[in-house]
Structure 1
Amino acid sequence: MTEQLDPPFRFRFRVRYGECDAQGVVFNARYGDFVDIAVNEYIRTLFGDYQRLLDQDLDIQVVSLTVNWKAPAKFDDVLEARIRAGRIGNTSFTLHLEFHRYGDGLLIADADITYVMIQPSQMAKVSIPEKIRGLLEAGAPGVLISHAGEQVQEG
């Protein structure tokens, strides 16, 4: 018997013309932007306004980003980023993202991004506070945020 996971956090957005290359597909470097935009929505959902993190003299910095492409995305496609927490260590954490084309669910790409928790005033890494660790562990199952303007019909 396989364990059923809660549905992941989902963020939808539409591919813009300027994000495509001469072959008419999303330029590979844009996936870094897509990861950043999706993770910002995820972090906002978990922690509230990002300023709340900064007000605690805390911030996160990227230390690793890996993207694996599976299929091309094109102009005007709606992509759905699905995010789940990966490893949560002492000072760092990893998020796993999958980008699916909305409508047919085709897997376009997946990515792993690792952040280190820092104290900006010292520019030094610090342990992840227990409250933040708890929020990361809980995630945001079932939350859907859309910037795509699609007709949402959830069942």
Structure 2
Amino acid sequence: MTQVRPPVVAMPLRVRYHECDPQGIVFNAHYLAYFDMASFEFFKALFGSYDDLRDRGVDCVVAESNLKFRAPSRYDDELVVEVAIDHLGTTSLILAFTVRRGDDVVAEGTNRYVFVDAAELTKAAPPEDVRAKLLAHT
């Protein structure tokens, strides 16, 4: 699951106390929240904001998530969530996430998004200008 493409964005974050479980490590579900936060930074970098993407008539919904844990993260750790495009299909997009603490990879994962019509929420291919911006990073 290691990223092969350079990241489009690298979002820094600091682990908050309430994200840790009784063992003192980040509770696993928080990594999916980190992925979600970083995906919005990804769309912001490419389109100005997520709302600008929606204004083009397209939205994305998560259809599948995968996550591999490599090392624990703890309260006050400084992490960076890197986002790269793993795959661009006709009506879907897979983003690859790598969570790092310094040089150490603590988690890796992917989200598969399905493009939908922003008004109807039915599966639809993205407009050509959206596709072109995504293709530039594959």
**TM-score for the superposition, normalised by structure 1:** 0.81
Where does residue 152 of structure 1 map in the other structure? none
Q: Which runs of 5+ in 2 are unaligned?
A: none
Where does residue 121 of structure 1 map in the other structure? 119
Larger Rg: 1
Where does residue 111 of structure 1 map in the other structure? 109
Structure 1 residue identity aligned to 2:89: G
> Number of aligned pairs?
135
Structure 1 stretch displaced more, 84-93 or 124-133: 124-133
Where does residue 153 of structure 1 map in the other structure? none
Superposed CA offset, 1:11-42 (max 9, x none): 11100001000000000011110000111111
CA contact (8 A) 2:15 2:74 kept: yes
> 2:48 and 2:72 mapped to 1: Cα distance?
33
CA contact (8 A) 2:8 2:42 kept: no
Where does residue 37 of structure 2 map in the other structure? 37
User: After the TM superposition, which segments of 4 or more aligned residues of structure 1 sit over 6 Å from their partners?
Assistant: none
Percent identity between the aligned chains? 33
CA contact (8 A) 2:9 2:45 kept: no
> 2:122 and 2:7 mapped to 1: Cα distance?
35
**TM-score for the superposition, normalised by structure 2:** 0.90
Structure 1 residue identity aligned to 2:120: Q
Q: What is the deviation of 1:84?
A: 1.0
Change (3 A) 1:7 1:34: closer
1:68 aligns with 2:68: yes
Superposed CA offset, 1:117-149 (max 9, x none): 111322211112221122112239xxxxxxxxx
> 1:5 and 1:88 mapped to 2: Cα distance?
13
Where does residue 89 of structure 2 map in the other structure? 89
Q: Which runs of 5+ in 1 are unaligned?
A: 141-155
Q: What is the deviation of 1:7?
A: 5.6
> 1:21 and 1:7 mapped to 2: Cα distance?
29
RMSD value, Cα:
1.8
